[in-house]
Amino acid sequence: MSEPELVVRFTEEDAARELRTEVRVGLTDSPKWLSPKWFYDAVGSDLFDQITVLPEYYQTRAEQQILQQRALEVAEITGAATLVELGSGSSEKTRLLLDALRKNETLERFVPLDVSGSALRAAVESIALDYPELHVRGVVDDFTSGLSALNAGAKRLVAFLGGTIGNLLPAERARFFAAVRAALRPGEWLLLGTDLVKDPDRLVRAYDDARGVTAEFNRNVLRVLNRELGADFEPENFRHVALWNAEHEWIEMRLRAQRPMRVGLPELGLTADFAEGEEIRTEVSAKFRHDRVRDELAVAGFELHRWWLDDAADFALSLAAA
C-alpha cells in the first residue's frame, strides 16, 4: 500500500479568520445571515449524520440508490483514472464509485477535498486501507475558493454529491461551475448530485423533522459562534424555522429570536441586537429542475450527458462532460 497523503491548503487559522470576517458582515447586515459552512463542527457533523437517516430526509438514501444503480455506467462512460471528490466528508458514497471504477480497471488516484481536516484524515486512512492499490491524496480546502487540488491526475472525474451545490446562491453557483470547468480538460467529467423541486410540504418536513434533529443542527451554529468567538448566544431562545421560498425554489433555514436580545461578540468588538421575531438566515438549500441544471452547466461550458433519478424521482445525479 502507498501511504496516503494529506495536503492542508486551508488551515484552522484560515477558517477562524474567515469566520470572523463573515460573522462581522452577516450579523450587521439586514436581514442578518450566516453561511451554512459553520454548521459542521464535530457536534454539527454528527447531527448531520443523524439527519441523513431521518425518515423525512430522503436525499441521502435517494442519491445512494442512484449511485448503486449507476456507478458502473459512470465508470464505463468516463473511464476515469482520477476521482476527485469535493466536500467528501466521510466518503461513504464514494466507495460505490471507487468500486465501480476499480472494476473497470481504470482507477489510479483518489483526491478527496474537504474543509474539515479531521473528517478528511479519517476518510483518507480508511479508504487507503481498503483500496491498497490506490494513490490517495486528501486535500483540506474550501471547495468554493480552492480548486487547485484538481491539478493532480489525468482523466479526471469530479464528484460533487449530496446536493451541497444547493447551498450556493445562484451567482456563487455560476462562479463555482465556471471554476470547475476551467480546471478540467475536454474529455473529463463532472458528477453532480442535486435535490429536486417537489411538494413544498415534503420539502419543509425534510428540513423541520418531527424529532427536532434539524432544529438542533441549526441552533448548533450559535454554539459554534459562542465557542469560537466568545459570543453569548442563548441557542434555546432561538426558534428553528424552515420555509419554502417559491420564487427562488429553495428551502431557507432561519433562527428566530423568541424575545428581544442583545448578544455580545467580544472577540469581534461587536454587539448584535435582536428584536423579538427577528431572524438570522442560516442556510439556503436550492432545489432543481432538469432544465436549470442543464442550462447552468451549459453556461459554464459543460454538456449534460446523463440525467439519472431515483425511483421516486426525488433526487438527480447528473453526469456532465467538460
Asked if the bond preceding 31 is cis, omega within 30° of 0, the reply is yes
DSSP state of 294: H
- Tell me if 291 is assigned to a ligand binding site: no
Nearer to ligand AVJ, 144 or 285 (CB): 285
**CA dist 109 to 5, 28, 72, 189, Å?**
11, 44, 17, 15
Query: Given the complex with ligand AVJ, which of 142 and 232 has the nearer CB atom?
Result: 142
What letter represents residue 283's amino acid?
A: E
β-strands 82-86, 109-114 pairing: parallel
Min dist. Cβ of residue 131 to ligand AVJ (A): 25
Give the nearest distance from C-beta 238 to ligand AVJ in angstroms. 15
Cα of 7 vs its chain's centroid, Å: 20
Between 91 and 164, CB nearer to ligand AVJ: 164
Least gap, CB of 76 to ligand AVJ (angstroms): 27
Closest distance of CB 254 from ligand AVJ, Å: 12
- Applying CB under 6 A, the residues found at the interface with ligand AVJ are 51, 59, 162-164, 166-167, 207, 214, 283, 285
How many CA within 13 A on the CB side of residue 66? 26
Query: Was 49 annotated as part of a binding site?
Result: no
The rounded distance, in Å, linking the Cα atoms of 183 and 317 is: 21
Residue 93 in marked binding region: yes
Q: Cβ closer to ligand AVJ: 39 or 110? A: 39
72 is written with which cell numbers? 458502473
**Residue 143 assigned to a binding site:** yes
Q: Give the annotated binding-site residues for S-adenosyl-L-methionine.
A: 87, 93, 114, 142-143
Q: Give the annotated binding-site residues for L-histidine.
A: 57, 167, 207, 283-285
